[in-house]
Amino acid sequence: MATLNGNSPSEAPLVIVVGAGLGGLSAAVAIALTGHYRVLVLEAASRLGEIGAGIQLSSNCSKLLIRWGCAKYLEPNVVAPHRGRVCRWQDGEILTERIMNPAAEEKFGAPYWHIHRADLHQGLLDRARQLGVELRTSTPVAKVRTGDDETSPGVILESGETLECRFVVGADGIHSKIRTTLFPGFEKPRPTGDLAYRFRVATADMLDDEILKPLAETPDTHSWWGPGKHIVGYMLRGKQMYNVITLFPDDGSLGDATRGTGTSDHLKEIYDGWCPKVTRLIEKAQESQLIKWKLMDLPPLEKWNVGRCVLLGDACHPMLPYLAQGSCSAMEDAAFLAECLKHLPDQLEIAADIYSRYRKPRATKIQMFSRDQRARNHLPDGPEQRERDAVLKNPDQQTRAHVWTWDAADGSPAGDWVTGLHGYDAEHEAVKAIRSEGLALSKI
Ligand SMILES: Cc1cc2nc3c(=O)[nH]c(=O)nc-3n(C[C@H](O)[C@H](O)[C@H](O)COP(=O)(O)OP(=O)(O)OC[C@H]3O[C@@H](n4cnc5c(N)ncnc54)[C@H](O)[C@@H]3O)c2cc1C
């Protein structure tokens, strides 16, 4: 680790990251890479190892992982999809198709990747350990202290122990204790009205099946959109595994819980009457794997910082999964924050404030886009759906009619949404933000 102002690594100021999910570990890696700080990650769970299934990583995120030196840990397990297709639920008609790779690299300077969540988590963990990040598991944090003129920031553990530090990052997920301490009156997460099932099928099994074979031959992403629900499939782990995510209306079967087991019969019932590829995929789902998730949401916070403490990832902006941007946004947060901490090591409150003010509008916009996308994916059959499908089938109309654009702050023409989403570079944006505040960049 490099040193700051002549400090040896053991004397470098300490940053505590609460939560070792994808957001927390990304923050740990990015902050350790500044060379200015020691990083300690506190995780409530006794064991690390992310459950879950596939994660789609667009170029806005893969470019950061590559810069952070994570590629060598991840590449053996990533799949770079060729095409992204949207299909109609009933007959599987392809409504639109977009080239994903190599176009992502050509347009946005980094690939589009699919990866198993556990592989991404392990890759970040390996890189964090290599950079000297310290990790304590079985360490639930109860509260945070944001620091003022008299006291330094720190965290109070559920055991009662207090750990002091120079800066705190709350990456403790949607049910964040750090958020509750910083903004006690703020709303609690609420159900979106949708549930998800995720499961995996071995591609070897699919290659033996005439209906599923085309899905297992080329690494494309398929989304089938239907009334009130949709389903997405793509390959993972060196194309050995096919990952399926299904989203459908909450039938109340989980009660107050946010996660539970499901049954094959339930899944079959939900997608009864869908096209043969979907129904055959569902027949292949193993009941032992069927975890049911309740999708939760939170309205945007007013800000993400108090004193020398900030929130990051799902703790401040949980994303509905309709745009597959939750982890990507958490990594953008991590990269932006690390640049602020790197360039403003003696003005950490200002660094926290810049991070919150400049990152929040983008994250809020993606949250809103994700909600719109839910409605768009799930249109009931009828005039609006036919209009949507006609636009999807006609690339010229897609460009003209597209619903979302990004406002360019400098007055240049607003970009289309894919460019805005995948072309963003969180580190460059942080440097621009610091400069636009009239502050000098660190020379170290
Ligand atoms: C069905 C589905 C599909 C998705 N697909 C994609 C996708 O394709 N692409 C994408 O980018 N995103 C996707 N997402 C979103 C993504 O999974 C999340 O947005 C992202 O993982 C959030 O990461 P996080 O680190 O902020 O929070 P979390 O993953 O929730 O991590 C929080 C961590 O903090 C720990 N913790 C909690 N409380 C405490 C405490 N008090 N003290 C210490 N530790 C604590 C937890 O144990 C956990 O390890 C999907 C989500 C769902 C539900």
pLDDT tens-digit series, residues 148-179? 878 899 999 999 999 999 999 999 999 999 99
Out of 50-64, 263-277, 356-370, 391-405, least confident range: 391-405
pLDDT at 79 exceeding the cut of 80 = yes
Residue appearing with tokens 């990083």: 39
Calculate the alpha carbon distances from 31 to 36, 83, 136, 145, 338 in Å. Answer: 8, 34, 17, 20, 5
pLDDT at 429 exceeding the cut of 70 = yes
Kindly give the number of the ligand 1 atom that is closest to the alpha carbon of 174. Answer: 30
- Give the single-character DSSP code of 4: S
Tell me the pLDDT tens digit for each residue of 97-127: 989 999 999 999 999 999 999 999 999 999 9
CA 195–ligand 1 middle distance (angstroms): 16
- Give the single-character DSSP code of 183: S
Query: What is the C-alpha to C-alpha distance for residues 223 and 87, in angstroms, rounded to an integer?
Result: 6
* Pair of tokens at residue 440: 């000098």
pLDDT at 4 (0 to 100): 43
pLDDT at 3 exceeding the cut of 50 = no
pLDDT at 15 (0 to 100): 98
- Give the single-character DSSP code of 331: H
Q: Report which protein residue has its CA nearest ligand 1's atom 50.
A: 321
- Using pLDDT thresholds of 50, 70 and 90, give the confidence band for residue 69: very high
The number of C-alpha atoms within 13 Å of 197 and in the hemisphere containing its C-beta is: 29
pLDDT at 75 (0 to 100): 92
90 neighbors 274 (Cβ within 8 angstroms):
yes
Ligand 1 contacts (CB < 6 A) are 18-24, 42-45, 55-56, 140-141, 171-173, 177, 196, 198, 245, 293, 295, 313-315, 319, 321, 324-328, 330
Tell me the pLDDT tens digit for each residue of 206-221: 999 999 999 999 999 9
Tell me the pLDDT tens digit for each residue of 24-36: 999 999 999 999 9
Kindly give the number of the ligand 1 atom that is closest to the alpha carbon of 314. Answer: 26
Query: What is the C-alpha to C-alpha distance for residues 177 and 145, in angstroms, rounded to an integer?
Result: 12
The whole-number average pLDDT for the span 364-378 is 89
Query: What is the C-alpha to C-alpha distance for residues 378 and 322, in angstroms, rounded to an integer?
Result: 10
Amino acid at 335: A
- Ligand 1 probe mutation, 16, 22, 78, most atoms within 8 A of CB: 22
Which CATH number applies to 9-51+118-188+302-373+419-436: 3.50.50.60, 3.30.1360.40, 3.40.630.90, 3.40.50.2300? 3.50.50.60
pLDDT at 369 (0 to 100): 86
On the question of a common fold for 9-51+118-188+302-373+419-436 and 190-297, the answer reads no
The whole-number average pLDDT for the span 8-30 is 92
Ordered by start, the domain boundaries in the chain are 9-51+118-188+302-373+419-436, 190-297
Tell me the pLDDT tens digit for each residue of 269-306: 999 999 999 999 999 999 888 888 999 999 999 999 99
Q: Which CATH class is domain 190-297?
A: alpha beta
Residue appearing with tokens 């301490």: 181
Query: What is the C-alpha to C-alpha distance for residues 356 and 337, in angstroms, rounded to an integer?
Result: 9
pLDDT at 1 (0 to 100): 43
Kindly give the number of the ligand 1 atom that is closest to the alpha carbon of 196. Answer: 1
Query: What is the C-alpha to C-alpha distance for residues 289 and 197, in angstroms, rounded to an integer?
Result: 9
pLDDT at 200 (0 to 100): 92
Sign of the C-alpha dihedral computed for residues 415, 420, 422 and 427 taken in this order: positive
% pLDDT > 70, the chain: 92
Tell me the pLDDT tens digit for each residue of 377-418: 999 999 999 998 998 888 666 654 455 566 655 555 556 778
Enumerate residues 6+ apart whose C-beta is below 8 A from 214.
none
